[in-house]
Amino acid sequence: MNRLWQSIKRPVGGNFSRCFSSEVPEIFDRTAKRKQMDRVASRLDERISGQLRGKVAEDLLDRLWDTNKKFPVAADVGCAEGLLLKNMSGGVGGISKLYQCDQSQNMLMKCRKGLVNGIHATTVLADSEFLPFLPESLDLVMSNLTMHWINDLPGTLTQIRRALRPDGLFLASMLGGDTLIELRHAITVASMERTGGLGSHLSPLANVADVGGLLGGAGFSLTAVDVDTVTIMFPDAMSLLYALQDMGENNAVHGRQMRRQTLIAAAAVYQAMYGREGGAVPATFQVIYMSGWAPHASQQKAKTRGSAQMSLEDLREVLNKIDDGKGGRGG
């Protein structure tokens, strides 16, 4: 067996399974999403994909540079067309082996393989909800704008943390709840007008406030979460809808059907509410960046409650003396 594959095996017991119970609600149709990505691979809009996924991939790699640490064995979970590898250069992160994982075989065929920018890269056909990595087999796990399609996000995060060696890094981005806020407003208005109710026409997305808790709950230490907003201009509202399809970012919620008349009405509402001079419309993408480390003895830890060497009363006395001293000099 090629040594590049030695850390990818079925876990003991033989079958992939989530880390938590089977009671996880199936919000997203993972089979439908795989089929979407398989179809998109042949017509991927690289211009729009570059403005969003390409930009965010560069931002993730900038954060990796800032760690000033080497991660020899890494994985890109939900790699899609492999933009992280395409943007890696100059020995970023000290990566020597990279596993590019995706559930879409057609997307994996678009990924670069072999020796790329000094990195031995290979592809792995795997669903992000059922990762095939052995415990403590990776130094780094990255994921670029794919985790918002995962049903069991706590379970996936726990799998990632278990796959990391002590002091290994998890670094990822995902779309947040304010993504496509303009389209959500337009569809709400159109749905109420056409059908008299609301449907699951757009995917539910995570709130920023929840992400830190999810990382901590999965066992990560030294967690960090921050947010950025990317606004992309489209020639008109229908161009946005087609672009979302061509990026594989169209809806994959169970029971997601939208009538054509509702879609056309939503585009008209979008155009009326947000159209600029010349017809162009903006689309907002909220990007949540997250990071966390697999625990290690060398990491700084928060002091236990009550371990402080100075009480608040002692601190108050010191501050009062400083204030008194300032008053005396002023006299």
Q: Could you tell me which residues are beta bridge partners of residue 174?
A: 288
Q: Give the span between the Cα atoms of 142 and 172, in whole angstroms.
A: 5
Q: 18-27, 86-95, 312-321: which range is least confident on average? A: 18-27
In this predicted structure, the answer to whether residue 273 has a pLDDT above a threshold of 80 is yes
Distance CA 101, CA 126 (A): 6
Residue of higher predicted confidence among 224 and 46: 224
Copy the structure tokens of residue 293: 């480390």
pTM of the predicted structure, to 2 decimals: 0.80
Q: What ranges make up the beta strands (E) of 12-128?
A: 73-77, 97-102, 114-116, 119-125
Give the span between the Cα atoms of 129 and 22, in whole angstroms: 12
- Identify which of 247, 322, 259, 314 has the alpha carbon closest to the alpha carbon of residue 56: 247
DSSP secondary structure letter of residue 175: E
> pLDDT tens across 231-248, in order?
999 999 999 988 888 887
CB 139 within 8 A of CB 69: no
**What is d(CA 185, CA 126) in angstroms, rounded to the nearest whole number?**
35
CATH architecture of 3-301: 3-Layer(aba) Sandwich (3.40)
Q: Does residue 175 contact residue 205 with C-beta atoms inside 8 Å?
A: yes
Q: Residue 129: CB partners within 8 Å, gap ≥ 6?
A: 18, 30, 150, 151, 152, 155, 156
